[in-house]
Structure 1
Amino acid sequence: MNQSPSDAFVVPAVDIGPYVRAGEDAERARVVREIDEACSRVGFVQILGHGIPDPVVDGLAGALDDFFGLPMDDKQQYRVVGANRGYSPPKSESLSLSLGVESASRMNDFFEAYNVGVEARSFPHLDLSEDDYGLNVWPDVPGFEDRVQTYFTEASRVARTLTRIFADALGQAPDYFERLTDHSIDVLRMNNYALPEGTVDLDGDLTGMGEHTDFGIVTVLWADRVAGLQVLGSDGIWHDVEPLPGALLVNLGDLTARITDDRWMSTLHRVKPPIVDGRIRRRRSVAFFHDGNVDAVVSTLPEYAGPEPYEPILIRDHVKAKLAGSRHGKANTAAVREAARVLAATGENRA
């Protein structure tokens, strides 16, 4: 199925600078309109004007290179079984199972990753459990923690700027999302798609990261300008997406889709390994997941509720079900709408 130029799949680019630098009302209204359209039509958006300095991004990229360049035995020391922290080696996850979709080969996502995030002890005034958050494990790599933490702070700022824009776009009070995220489970996942030949045995289709939707409210993604990321369009076709120079890719998570009863989309995406001349080309990405308060209940806003709106859900329960699929091989039977979209996908982009 080919698309004509007039209806070609495009991830819109939006300059959010007026919200970063407190711009004029007319400028902010333009941002709101463009974000609303992108969230309604695609569920993905490229953001410019985010304000993260280039040296901070360069430091993050260097930290990734330093860690993932270690021997596998060294990296395995930082694996934390059962927690969404630390190192995940190749073939230890299957993102498609977070949707309840059985892939041709379970636990076949060949990327490796390192996760850090907010800890329960970051909120000493609240009675929270590290079972819901997790304790960070920092590798013995010079400057790794400082470089990653610096970027984490900037990505958190961008995510909260976006939710402020979301509140305006949805006609809600300015603090609507703040009430859902003031002790949010925020996780930074650093991904590396590059495996020397013979490092890992792969059966079935070669998959970088299986098809999935993100769990929470919004995801902010930095990535190399290397092919691999694919987004499922409303045409049922997977489309390649690369970030513009200096842009961050942003996509909505399941909880925002629930809030709007799918008026705004939690778009399915995956990573197919970039293969050039028969060899996997290295690709790096870093996703900041802004998932919301563990003890918050998410409900569909009444003004967006259709005839069969989502049932209210506790964020803790939603995240646990998704993680049980991706990390523990237990299919998530609650992701009915998302799984149906995967199964309905008709093919690849041939445009």
Structure 2
Amino acid sequence: MAFEVPTVDITPYVKGGSPEEKAAVARAWDDACRTVGFVQVIGHGVPDETIDGLKQAIDDFFAQNMDTKMLMRTPRGVNRGYSPPKSESLSLSLGVVNASLMNDFFEAFNVGLTRADYPGVDLPESEYQENVWPDVPLFRDRVMAYFAEARRVAETLVTIFPDALELPADFFADATTHNTATMRINNYALPPGTVDLDGELRGMGEHTDYDIVTVLWADQVKGLQVLGTDGSWNDVNPADGALLVNLADNMAGWTNDQWMSTLHRVKPPVIDGRIERRRSVAYFHGGRPDAVIAPIPELLAPGEELHYEPITVAEHRKAKLAGSRGGRLNTKAEREAARVRASAG
């Protein structure tokens, strides 16, 4: 059977559909999460003009010269600002060592929620880091306009989850109070000579996402590949008008892998000796830093083996980021690493 990412129309949750309409969405969502872990989401309600503004912001920032972009690079441990090519290796977040370390060739710019987004609440700065902003006209306004929309979509999805899992409607409310969020703007077009165009070229190494759910806008350009249950890597592009959504590690932990945190990577094609440009923007929706991720007893079958030990949202993210951005092998991702090693290619 050919690999296919299911499409789910979430309009009933966005515009207040009937209980029957919402139930149909919840069933479709549950099936998609159990079989693929990636979903083409339509009916999300993000305005076209907001996405157009985002694309302009991406182009304006990455068109700057490298010296100017490097002024926005933050110190190690700060998940904000600019990341230059070959400064990260996503596969290390899984405990997988590649031929050379820190060789993912994408460049990126990160923004996220800060303590100012939750006035009057005592929150750790390490989990709600301050943003840095380039001197690019309208960049901040355009990026944050889309950020607000992506956050709304993610929060809508989190209201679908308990319905799909047949849990109380407020089941995830406590774990997502004062939620964290990071949005990563990625660029895969680099000047000639920046990378060697060989067979091992990697835009972004194999990885799962770290938090609850990821909302992705991307160009309709090949590059994103998703690991199927048969061990094959499959090209995935967003459908017309769709956002690609994938589950992240926290949902796999809560559901004991009944819902899939699917491995994916980026390998943009090389055409006529050049990398075909690809842009993407991933909004990573996280939980409260001290929320505990462990299999939910109500979802377990009698005698079902537990795949995960309890861990907090912050502890899990720290271990993953130590690999991808700090260059330290994550030794607590045995299940994901085994899937990468068993994959074809």
- 1: CA distance between counterparts of 2:320 and 2:128? 15
Q: Residue in 2 aligned with 1:293?
A: 288
Q: Residue in 2 aligned with 1:3?
A: none
Paired amino acid for 1:23: G
Q: Residue in 2 aligned with 1:86?
A: 81
- 1: CA distance between counterparts of 2:261 and 2:150? 20
- 2: CA distance between counterparts of 1:264 and 1:74? 42
Secondary structure of 1:239's counterpart equals strand
Evaluate the alpha carbon distance shift between residue 226 and residue 202 of structure 1 in structure 2; reply closer, same or farther with a 3 A threshold. Answer: closer
| C-alpha RMSD of the superposition | 1.2
Q: How many residues align?
A: 341
Paired amino acid for 1:55: E
Q: Residue in 1 aligned with 2:183?
A: 188
The match for 1:244 among 223, 227, 239 is: 239
Task: Please list every run of 5 or more consecutive structure 1 residues that lacks an aligned counterpart in the other structure.
Answer: 1-6
Q: Residue in 2 aligned with 1:343?
A: 341
Evaluate the alpha carbon distance shift between residue 280 and residue 237 of structure 1 in structure 2; reply closer, same or farther with a 3 A threshold. Answer: same
Within 5 A, what are the aligned runs for 1:9-158? Answer: 9-82=3-76, 83-158=78-153
How many Å apart are 1:67 and its aligned residue?
A: 0.2
Runs of 4 or more, structure 1, over 3 Å off, are 200-204
Within 5 A, what are the aligned runs for 1:210-221? Answer: 210-221=205-216
CA deviation profile, 1:163-215 (whole Å, cap 9, x unmatched):
10011101122222221112111011000000121134678811000000000
More displaced stretch, 22-31 vs 9-18: 22-31
Q: Is the 8 A contact 2:197 2:273 kept in 1?
A: no
- 1: CA distance between counterparts of 2:176 and 2:120? 15
Structure 1 residue 227 corresponds to structure 2 residue 226: no
Evaluate the alpha carbon distance shift between residue 202 and residue 108 of structure 1 in structure 2; reply closer, same or farther with a 3 A threshold. Answer: farther
- 2: CA distance between counterparts of 1:48 and 1:104? 39
What percentage of aligned pairs have identical amino acids?
A: 62
TM-score normalised per structure 2 = 0.96
Q: Residue in 2 aligned with 1:334?
A: 332
More displaced stretch, 211-220 vs 117-126: 117-126
Q: Is the 8 A contact 2:179 2:287 kept in 1?
A: yes
Paired amino acid for 1:333: T
- 2: CA distance between counterparts of 1:74 and 1:174? 47
Task: Please list every run of 5 or more consecutive structure 2 residues that lacks an aligned counterpart in the other structure.
Answer: none
Paired amino acid for 1:334: K
Q: Residue in 1 aligned with 2:254?
A: 259
CA deviation profile, 1:307-340 (whole Å, cap 9, x unmatched):
2341111111100000000001001101111111
- 1: CA distance between counterparts of 2:197 and 2:102? 10
- 2: CA distance between counterparts of 1:311 and 1:215? 16
Paired amino acid for 2:24: R
Secondary structure of 1:292's counterpart equals coil
- 2: CA distance between counterparts of 1:107 and 1:245? 34
How many Å apart are 1:133 and its aligned residue?
A: 2.2
- 2: CA distance between counterparts of 1:338 and 1:200? 28
